Structure 1
């Protein structure tokens, strides 16, 4: 197995952040675990299928997520299209950490990732967080590094993952 470089990034929440600007036909919806967990998982699987991350099969992923002490269903931000299909999601831990961010391939480069991040920034500012962190693989093929840097995230550390 080859080693992969992982970058931990941080963004200050000290300054005001823009309101989310949702792409046409896309709206935020409240995450309902019984209704959305499998669809969120399917989007994560799709988003990570070309690299940049990994998600366990649903039978492992969901109980692991749901039962984690840092899990809060109000910190799962979901975006749906006009047909109620989930096209974007960002899952955060209570400690102001972005665990996963995924945008359906057909919705990439249309501002959905930005809208989701802005919603996260607003939520954690209201909670009193000074900053928000995330980790990303340096070789992520989806443009995640570019997205994070353009939203004020800066590298805090990097390390190799076997």
Structure 2
């Protein structure tokens, strides 16, 4: 059987979630949809360039994202550097689903992905969600699988995409 193996993972929210620890010079900034969308899209393209995901061209991606019934701008968590450049993003759906997690390839290994995950987990716990789900390719080259497991995500399903 060919195709990419995709894992659906889940993290229960029955216990408190740790506070995010942001790398030096990084801060969470409020999402301004029309202003930030092109920069977030560029970050997703860069983050997925080596595999592990795909993003449609901006002209398709942005209208599709903001038109989705599960889209909530309050569930887009943006990490910016001291100059205001977006260096990481966690885009979530209202169904307590972590849709996209992307960190600038030059900023990986500094704890930014962990901080974004914790920010999202806290938001969903505050909203009363029992768990958060996500999907990841089993052979994701960025270390995403290891990162998710380190935050308590466990595989609940796997399937192949052609």
Aligned to 2:68: 68
Aligned to 1:10: 10
Unaligned runs of 5+ in 1: none
Aligned to 2:79: 79
- Which residues of 2 match residues 97-116 of structure 1 at below 5 A? 97-116=97-116
TM-score, length of structure 2 as denominator length? 0.98
d(CA) in 1 for partners of 2:47, 2:107: 11
| Deviation at residue 160 of structure 1 after TM alignment | 0.5
d(CA) in 2 for partners of 1:79, 1:134: 20
Q: Deviations over 1:21-59 (max 9, x none)?
A: 000000000010111000000000000000000000000
- Which residues of 2 match residues 83-162 of structure 1 at below 5 A? 83-162=83-162
| Deviation at residue 106 of structure 1 after TM alignment | 1.2
d(CA) in 1 for partners of 2:10, 2:89: 19
TM-score, length of structure 1 as denominator length? 0.98
- Superposed CA RMSD: 0.6
d(CA) in 1 for partners of 2:81, 2:124: 25
d(CA) in 2 for partners of 1:99, 1:121: 13
Give every structure 1 segment of 4 or more consecutive aligned residues whose post-TM-superposition deviation is greater than 4 Å: none
| 1:89 alignment partner, SS class | strand
